[in-house]
Amino acid sequence: SDLKPLPARTALEALVVTNTELSTRNSAQYQFIHLDRGIEDGVQVGNVFRVYDYYDPVTRVKITDSDFLINADAIVIHATAQFSTAMVLHAHDLFSRGDFAVLLTDVSDLERQKKGEMRDFGEDERRTPEDKELDELDQLDRSSGEGMGKKEEAEIKELDQWDKSKDLQSTPSTEPTVPSAADTPTDEAEKLPGSDAEQGRKAPPQDPSLDQTLDSPTVNPPGMETPAPPAHLKPAPEQTLEAPPAPPAANEPAVPGELSPKEPNVEPITPPEAGSVEPALPSPPDDVKSQ
């Protein structure tokens, strides 16, 4: 079962009580017994009552009065105000009604025995890590009556530091990057003309002037670019007209074999002789002719 042994605050003696109507006078392992101690006496579910034997198992002669020989252990599964019910975990011999049992304040031997049984049956391997950690914490609480010791405090500090370092590694780094030595220019490199360091000290480029803006080619907006001519069309060859040769100058001799331009035949205009030209008189109007 999941019920774990729980140590009691004080060691109490209880009288074993059996119901003869439901069971025999004697009791043994995995049977239920009743005891005359309850919640008012400080009994809790999980407490263990131990039954001792004071007699020789063969001759049944009393050999001791001290709680030395262990006969049986019974764990409390139910408790009322004045009585409690317990199940016998293991027993070496029969014990009967009227025997005395003592409430245990230390159950470490039962826990070791239970762990050994779990290891033998392979149940310890099926337990989760959380269950093992809880068992370790329970054992720590029982062993350290005054709280955590120095060793536990040191372990807790180490765990806290490990958690903080893990959080820092998971967060992205926001520190500025430091340039390497190769990116940092030296004094000698700055003195060389045309070096990257020398160009870096030049004045930043200025905005173009109005004349430069007007002279620069116009860039069409996106979607309005001039389509390029097809590649299969060739431009037509340029046609040139030959100019006629200039006429030779007046004082330049004519080149033999070449035609010289003909001079225009201009007839001189002679003035008329005096008296040979009659003056033209105007004709009279029609109404005068009719008279």
pLDDT tens, residue by residue, 196-244: 555 555 556 677 777 777 777 666 666 676 666 665 556 666 666 666 6
Query: Residue 23: which CATH number?
Result: 2.40.10
Q: What is the pLDDT of residues 139-157, one digit of tens each?
A: 766 555 555 667 778 888 8
- 87/27 Cα distance (integer angstroms): 10
The predicted-structure confidence for 251-260, as pLDDT tens digits, reads as follows 555 555 555 5
Residues in the chain: 291
Q: What is the DSSP string of 56-89?
A: -TTT--B--SSS-EEEEEEEEEEE-SS-EEEEEE
Q: Are 16 and 97 in contact (CB under 8 A)?
A: yes
In this prediction, residue 240 carries a pLDDT of 66
- Clarify whether residues 48 and 92 are in a common domain: yes
Q: How far is CA 276 from CA 238, 272, 283, 284, 291, in A?
A: 66, 7, 21, 24, 32
Check residue 41 and report its DSSP letter. G
Strand partners, 27: 95
Q: Where are the alpha helices (DSSP H) in 88-171?
A: 108-121, 129-143, 150-170
Q: Are residues 78 and 28 in the same domain?
A: yes
Instruction: Provide the residue type at 155 as one letter.
Output: E
Assigned token pair, 9:
């605050």
What is the structure's pLDDT at 270? 64
**DSSP characters over 189-201:** HHHSTT-HHHHHT
What are the pLDDT digits (tens) for 75-102?
A: 999 999 999 999 988 888 888 888 889 9
25 found inside a domain: yes
Mean model confidence pLDDT for the chain: 72
The residues, any chain, with a CB within 8 Å of residue 140's CB and separated by 6 or more, are 148, 152
Same domain flag for 79 and 98 = yes
Cβ neighbourhood burial of 258 (10 Å; 0-12, 13-18, 19+): exposed
What pLDDT score was predicted for residue 230?
Answer: 61
For residue 57, being part of any structural domain is answered with: yes
183-206 pLDDT per residue, tens: 555 555 555 555 555 555 555 667
Confidence of residue 30 (pLDDT cuts 50, 70, 90): confident
Could you tell me the residue range of the domain that residue 140 belongs to? Answer: 107-144
Domain count, the chain: 2
Domain identity same for 27 and 93? yes
29 and 120, same structural domain? no
Q: What is the pLDDT of residues 36-53, one digit of tens each?
A: 999 999 999 999 999 998
